[in-house]
Amino acid sequence: MTPSVDALRSTLDGRWADVRSSVREQMARFRPVDPGLSVEEYRAKVLELVHELAETGQPHTGFSPEYGGKGDVGGVVTAFQALGYGDLSLLVKAGVQWGLFGGAVQVLGTERHHERYLRRIMDGELLGCFAMTETGHGSDVQHLRTSATYDPVAEEFVIDTPEPGARKDYIGNAARDGRMAVVFAQLVTRGESHGVHAFLVPIRDDGGAAMPGVEIGDCGHKAGLNGVDNGRLTFRSVRVPREALLNRFADVSPDGTYSSSIENEGRRFFTMLGTLVRGRISVAGGAGSAAQKALALAIRYGERRRQFADPGTGEETAILDYRAHQRKLLPALATTYALQFAQDDLVAEMHRLQAPGAEPDEKAQRDLESRAAGVKAIGTWHATHTIQTCREACGGAGYLSENLLPQLKADTDVFTTFEGDNTVLLQLLAKNLLSDYGRSVQKLSPLGLARFVGAQALDAAAERTGVNKLPRRLPGRGFRPRDRAEQRRLLADRAEHLLAGVARRLRPALKKGADQFAIFNAAQDHLLDAARAHVDLVVFDAFVAGIERAADPSVQALLETVCDLHALAMIERYRAWYLEHGRLTAAETRAVVAAVNDLCAELRPHARLLVDAFGIPEGWIACPLLEDPAAESGATATVPEMVG
């Protein structure tokens, strides 16, 4: 029995359902902006919307109650994702203002900063920037070149851009609207550098003129997000008071003495970065909304668009009834569901760790950062690929801006490389997995270790020879692609095996005098596969847990089928690995492919329900593409092109 759209939606909406519905209701006016606007018109329009958004009170939700916020960290990130159904320039500009700029002041600053700035930031009176990335350093932010040198006489920091490559680049809110910036720079006091710290630096006066010593450039027209004013900042001996240092984790006394609660410089830096995990989780959420919107457009079009007459009936066939079209859209839809549940888990865990009064939990925080990095990478790549596929699935209509897909593609394209380049994020995740793995291996008893090493050696031998080992399941038991435990075993086995293998390959790098780069580089692809396989497992587990939470049995039943399609599409994608490593026989991988085809056919009648359940406000998605067929079918019978 088919679930109602409301039952399915409330399962998807999850814990912050009320936030999602209030965004849907309140914010109907934030519908996508006409992409034909000039850059300047678009920026002006989005600035207006930012102020309107501030008036709704939504952005306050995430900030401390003592300054008028609600401390609802999970709620604000959920609201941010819901905004992603609308104009993505507004989404990103809001993210810069309240997530990155406001978030940095909140979590890296202390009372002196909160007292002075938080209210004005929440209300959108004080617009600001998050100035971390430099022209020469985007991924390797630990080696930023901007410097902040303490002058004990004036009790001021002097901010400098020592070289062209140290210019702050791609900074949102910088080209036009920002008045202040959180600037990340190498802190130097008493001739000693203490690594990267954050400083609050005024960049424009109230009239909007650049402050003395601050040079502001404009990144100009971009592929998308042209409602966001990205710019460049260069500092020429810009002086700010000692109190401009966001001093939650480290401070400098008037006489220039440096102090920090965290000894190790690297650890201190990554602790500061870690508090900003919200940005990555938000981007993953925005990517999810964009993919959901693209699928809603393509699937509704695929149901009404007819092409080529069925020789049997003479009626033209809806393109979503073609297997190739189902193959393009339905596994992507299933994975979009899976990622939504993974996103909800991230948000809930972040809320647990960061809501006011939460106990600091370093291990849990680091795990959250790892998972956020992985889900952001996989989720944004999925969105880019899915939106591209949806554009093509709508043909020429999908290329017209009036049908929204072009803007979705262009705006989200940067998601794969900002808030952390996806490849670098997967490496970060892999690094954390490897150190956990290292610890767990060390914990093994001598016997356990011997067994472990032995197993590794066997695996290695099996791979060299290509001899198939028995698939890892109860002997004699047949392969059942739609068995949930079977699916998990396959995904987990791949993740564990890849990680163990890369650990083995990297171990020599720890030897003294080893060419660490050469060893790492030779294993880089292996490393990235291991990280990706881990994320696949995390996402799968989140989906399964989400299904268990569903109250309505008909919702559960439908989601089980969607989960099968997601899981088997993953296993199908990596079936070469399962064959090479003797996990599946050729007959079994072919059964997986057949199961994916069957599941596409099985879900085809529910495709519309599945996209309607995202609850995208109709006003944000209405476009000519979705209007009733302009053409009525009535073609004379014809053998389709392709039957020879």
Q: Least distance to a copy of itself from the beta carbon of 189, Å? A: 18
Q: Least distance to a copy of itself from the beta carbon of 346, Å? A: 21
Among 21, 26, 149, 468, binds a copy of itself (CB under 8 A): 468
- Are 101 and 130 in contact by the 8 Å Cβ rule? The answer is yes
Q: For a copy of itself, give the closer residue by CB, 153 or 630.
A: 630
The CA-to-CA distance between both ends of the chain, in Å, stands at: 39
Q: Which residues 358-377 are close enough to bind a copy of itself by CB under 8 A?
A: none
Among 237, 253, 261, 521, binds a copy of itself (CB under 8 A): 521
Q: Which residues 430-449 are close enough to bind a copy of itself by CB under 8 A?
A: 430-431, 434-435, 437-438
Q: For a copy of itself, give the closer residue by CB, 153 or 643.
A: 643
Question: How far is Cα 230 from Cα 133, in angstroms, rounded to an integer?
Answer: 12
456 counts as binding a copy of itself under rule CB under 8 A: no
- Are 197 and 148 in contact by the 8 Å Cβ rule? The answer is yes
3-state secondary structure of 152: coil
Closest CA to 86 of 123, 52, 60: 52
- Are 227 and 33 in contact by the 8 Å Cβ rule? The answer is yes
Among 64, 135, 149, 456, binds a copy of itself (CB under 8 A): 135
Q: Least distance to a copy of itself from the beta carbon of 572, Å? A: 9
DSSP of 430-494, one letter per residue?
A: HHHHHHHHHHHHHHS-HHHHHHHHHHHHHHHHHHHHTPPPPPSSSTTPPP-TT-HHHHHHHHHHH
Among 22, 56, 64, 142, binds a copy of itself (CB under 8 A): 142
Q: Least distance to a copy of itself from the beta carbon of 78, Å? A: 27
Q: Least distance to a copy of itself from the beta carbon of 32, Å? A: 12
Q: Least distance to a copy of itself from the beta carbon of 222, Å? A: 6
Among 447, 551, 587, 605, binds a copy of itself (CB under 8 A): 587
Q: Least distance to a copy of itself from the beta carbon of 302, Å? A: 13
Q: For a copy of itself, give the closer residue by CB, 527 or 539.
A: 527
Q: Which residues 31-90 are close enough to bind a copy of itself by CB under 8 A?
A: 34-36, 38-39
Q: Which residues, at least 6 apart from 523, have a Cβ–Cβ distance to it below 8 Å?
A: 502, 505, 506
Bridge partners, 180 (sequence order): 128, 202
Question: How far is Cα 431 from Cα 84, in angstroms, rounded to an integer?
Answer: 31
Among 357, 442, 465, 511, binds a copy of itself (CB under 8 A): 465
Among 219, 355, 441, 492, binds a copy of itself (CB under 8 A): 219
356 counts as binding a copy of itself under rule CB under 8 A: no
477 counts as binding a copy of itself under rule CB under 8 A: no
Contact window for a copy of itself (CB under 8 A) among 89-97, 141-149, 339-347, 440-448: 141-149
Q: Which residues 408-427 are close enough to bind a copy of itself by CB under 8 A?
A: 409-410, 413-414, 416-418, 421-424, 427
Among 191, 446, 476, 644, binds a copy of itself (CB under 8 A): 644
Residue 508 structure tokens: 């020599």
Count the neighbouring beta carbons within 10 Å of the beta carbon of residue 23. Answer: 25
Q: Which residues, at least 6 apart from 56, have a Cβ–Cβ distance to it below 8 Å?
A: 26, 27
Q: For a copy of itself, give the closer residue by CB, 355 or 593.
A: 593
Among 2, 237, 440, 638, binds a copy of itself (CB under 8 A): 638
Q: Least distance to a copy of itself from the beta carbon of 404, Å? A: 11
Q: Least distance to a copy of itself from the beta carbon of 622, Å? A: 16
Question: How far is Cα 54 from Cα 74, in angstroms, rounded to an integer?
Answer: 18
401 counts as binding a copy of itself under rule CB under 8 A: yes
Long-range contacts of 538-541 (CB under 8 A, 24+ apart): 538/342, 538/371, 538/374, 538/375, 539/335, 539/338, 539/339, 539/341, 539/342, 539/375, 539/378, 540/338, 540/487, 540/488, 540/491, 540/566, 540/567, 540/570, 541/488
322 counts as binding a copy of itself under rule CB under 8 A: yes
- Are 596 and 568 in contact by the 8 Å Cβ rule? The answer is yes
207 counts as binding a copy of itself under rule CB under 8 A: no
Among 72, 87, 156, 169, binds a copy of itself (CB under 8 A): 169
391 counts as binding a copy of itself under rule CB under 8 A: yes
234 counts as binding a copy of itself under rule CB under 8 A: no
Question: How far is Cα 523 from Cα 595, in angstroms, rounded to an integer?
Answer: 33
Q: Which residues, at least 6 apart from 248, have a Cβ–Cβ distance to it below 8 Å?
A: 107, 108, 109, 110
503 counts as binding a copy of itself under rule CB under 8 A: yes
- Are 239 and 157 in contact by the 8 Å Cβ rule? The answer is yes
Q: For a copy of itself, give the closer residue by CB, 57 or 582.
A: 582
Angle at 258 between CA 255 and CA 262, to 5 degrees: 160
Radius of gyration of the chain (CA): 26
Q: If binding means CB under 8 A, how many residues of this protein chain bind a copy of itself?
A: 120
395 counts as binding a copy of itself under rule CB under 8 A: yes
284 counts as binding a copy of itself under rule CB under 8 A: no
384 counts as binding a copy of itself under rule CB under 8 A: yes
3-state secondary structure of 177: coil
Q: Least distance to a copy of itself from the beta carbon of 211, Å? A: 23
Q: Least distance to a copy of itself from the beta carbon of 309, Å? A: 7
497 counts as binding a copy of itself under rule CB under 8 A: no
400 counts as binding a copy of itself under rule CB under 8 A: yes
Long-range contacts of 312-321 (CB under 8 A, 24+ apart): 313/637, 314/635, 314/636, 314/637, 315/633, 315/635, 316/633, 316/635, 319/393, 320/604, 320/607, 321/604
